[in-house]
Amino acid sequence: MRLPQNDTFQDVCSDVVVRFKGHGSYKGRSGALRAFKRRAPNFEPNEYEIAFDRFCAVYDLAVSAIQQFPSERESKSKYAKFEDIDFEKCLCYIDHVLPGYGATMKKQILGWVIFWHYLK
């Protein structure tokens, strides 16, 4: 099934997934889907579920990728930095496993995953 190429739809889905996976918001999947439908109305019911599941998969892949692809630069700081992760390799890995849909949102999700799972 081809999902909507609508920026609002994808942006809302990305935000809901980050809040759901990263913060534990919405009291479960059904609550997250209700929020998604409320914030991006007028799409087909199955489009919400498919997009949500795909972006949840992107989030999970991003968590895995940041552990697999540290930057090749040598860090001189004792503190974690965003640059410690090879963002481009992580993004290529995610796009290889889940090609196509939502390239901009994949970048946003990866950025949040680096923040929540590496920098915090």
Tens of pLDDT, residues 23-63: 889 999 999 999 999 999 999 999 999 999 999 999 999 99
Distance of alpha carbon 8 from alpha carbon 95, whole angstroms: 21
**Where do the DSSP E strands lie in 1-113?**
none
Which phi-psi region, left, alpha or beta, contains residue 42 (left: φ > 0; alpha: ψ -120 to 50)? left
Residue with tokens 């109305």: 41
Query: Structural domain boundaries of the chain?
Result: 7-119
- Angle CA 58–120–60, to nearest 5: 15
Check whether 118 has a pLDDT greater than 90: no
The answer for residues whose C-beta is within 8 angstroms of residue 57's C-beta and 6 or more apart is 98
Alpha-carbon distances, residue 65 vs 6, 87, 109 (angstroms): 27, 9, 12
Separation between Cα atoms, residue 99 and residue 57, nearest integer Å: 12
Model pTM score: 0.89
Q: How confident is the model at residue 100 (pLDDT cuts 50, 70, 90)?
A: confident
Q: According to the model, what pLDDT value does residue 55 have?
A: 94
Q: What is the DSSP-derived secondary structure letter of residue 86?
A: -
Q: What is the pLDDT of residue 73?
A: 66
The pLDDT of residue 120 is above 80: no
Average pLDDT over residues 60-86: 83
Q: Which residues contact 71 (CB under 8 A, 6 or more apart)?
A: 83, 84, 85, 86
